[in-house]
Chains A and B, each alone.
Chain A
Amino acid sequence: MSGNYYDLDDILADGEKIPCRFNITVPGLGYLEGNPGKAINKDSKIELPLWLAEILAVCVNLDESGSSFIDLPEPEFLGTKVKNAIKTSPTSVDLHKLLPNYYRLVEKWCTMVPEPELIDIVMTMLKERSFEISNFAGNANKQINNEFIYTLDEFEKQLFKMTSESNKHMRKWLRD
């Protein structure tokens, strides 16, 4: 994992909830579902933060035949619908609304579940969108009132900020 221990965005991304399905009945865990004191039943679906789901999905239950505690169905933000939206037009997807830390989440997810096809799509999207970002960062002295800027995810915002900063320094140096 690339995440830095002190990286706030990384921590936030780890707290993102993803859907999980329990493979076994766990006594006393009912409070996760909202009925404290009871057991959590086999096959119940529940949303857990990524850091917890990751451990539970990777750890193997020793008693049974190698199945893990929980299964991870595909979360909505990686679903076919989103993939198709990205494929059709990478620059018009509202990433920020989808997930504020989309790239990180994809990265974390794909480290758990390798999905070359998804990575391909996301990489193409990143290329397209970053090109667009550099376009916008190039003329930052004018007012930006474009929808696109509001759809950037946290990583892209950072990128936009850095790029326009660098362009600003350059323009300033050329001027004086």
Chain B
Amino acid sequence: MVLPSHLQHNLMPSEINFVAENELITILPRYSMNKIELIGHKIPALRAMRREKVPIWVAVILKSQDKCSIVPPKWLNLAYLKDKYEEEIRKPQVFSELPWNWLEISKVLLAKAADDLSDPSHQLRSVLQDLREIRLVKSHKGLRELNESNIQLNGLSLLEINELRPFVLTVMNKLRQLHDTTTTRGAVEAGEGDDMDDEDNYDDEDD
């Protein structure tokens, strides 16, 4: 009740970003470090030049201190993303498969570890932007098909769903409420016609 309304029913993009930073990523340490036992994750002992998987937030901290280089995930390169973009264009009805947090991870890595990525960051940025825009247009088109009972969100990532959620939920709720009025009372009458008759029938049913 005390939270502002935009925080009550939906996650902020920054919160989703926070969740995504818990994902593991491979790094290539330059120094050795003892292992750390945290409540959520164990960070394994790091030895120089031996690949290890650590949460992204750890990788980013180490990277900022120049203690490791990050191995980009296999989907974060120009060829793969261009491929996905082509796929989006080829299949106008479907969203292509991307990791559930592709927007967040690509943003973090582009900002904090641009020099570790295999392609120039401006090109990556532009193809990511293209992908986002084409998917945005698609999901927007899909809003025309809203109904009171179900919605299909195959292939959308968490952040993209989160962005749609307030709108879709509100509209679908209202549609459902409107639709419920026709089913709960067993709408036998043709509606229209004589209102007095309607009223009488309705009373009879109620008794």
Question: A residues within 8 Å of B by Cβ?
Answer: 2, 57-58, 60, 66-68, 71-74, 103, 106-107, 110-119, 122-123, 126-127, 130-131, 134, 137-138, 155, 158-159, 162-163, 165-167, 169-170, 172-174
Once the chains bind, are B146 and A138 in contact (CB under 8 Å)? no
Once the chains bind, are A166 and B165 in contact (CB under 8 Å)? yes
Once the chains bind, are A107 and B170 in contact (CB under 8 Å)? no
Main secondary structure of the interface of B (DSSP, over half): helix
Specify the chain A residue showing the minimal Cβ separation from B11. A169
> How many contacts between A and B, using CB within 8 angstroms?
120
Q: How far is the CB of B15 from chain A (nearest CB, A)?
A: 10
B49 contacts A by Cβ under 8 Å: no
Once the chains bind, are A173 and B195 in contact (CB under 8 Å)? no
Once the chains bind, are B181 and A159 in contact (CB under 8 Å)? no
Once the chains bind, are A166 and B10 in contact (CB under 8 Å)? yes
Once the chains bind, are A114 and B191 in contact (CB under 8 Å)? yes
Specify the chain B residue showing the minimal Cβ separation from A80. B192
What is the number of residues of chain B that contact chain A, defined by CB distance less than 8 Å? 46
Pick from A103, A112, A117, A170: contact of B174, CB below 8 A.
A103
B113-172 with Cβ < 8 A to chain A: 140, 143-144, 146, 148, 159, 163, 165-167, 170-171
B184-203 with Cβ < 8 A to chain A: 184-192, 195-196, 198-200, 202-203
Main secondary structure of the interface of A (DSSP, over half): helix
Once the chains bind, are B167 and A159 in contact (CB under 8 Å)? yes
Q: Which residues of B are found within 8 Å of A166, using beta-carbon distances? A: 6, 10, 163, 165-167
Once the chains bind, are B187 and A116 in contact (CB under 8 Å)? yes
Complex formed: what's the CA distance from A158 to B6 in Å? Answer: 12
B1-45 with Cβ < 8 A to chain A: 5-6, 10, 12-14, 17
Once the chains bind, are B178 and A113 in contact (CB under 8 Å)? no
Q: Which residues of A are found within 8 Å of B188, using beta-carbon distances? A: 114
Once the chains bind, are B202 and A114 in contact (CB under 8 Å)? yes
Decide: A112 near B202, CB < 8 A? Known: A60-B207, A166-B163, A167-B163: yes
Complex formed: what's the CA distance from A112 to B206 in Å? Answer: 11
Once the chains bind, are B167 and A68 in contact (CB under 8 Å)? no
Seed contacts A68-B199, A107-B177; 7 additional CB < 8 Å A-B pairs? A71-B199, A114-B181, A115-B192, A123-B179, A126-B178, A134-B143, A173-B13
Decide: A169 near B143, CB < 8 A? Known: A111-B181, A159-B170: no
Q: Which residues of B are found within 8 Å of A162, using beta-carbon distances? A: 5-6, 166-167, 170
Q: How far is the CB of A12 from chain B (nearest CB, A)?
A: 17
Complex formed: what's the CA distance from A130 to B173 in Å? Answer: 12
Once the chains bind, are B170 and A72 in contact (CB under 8 Å)? no
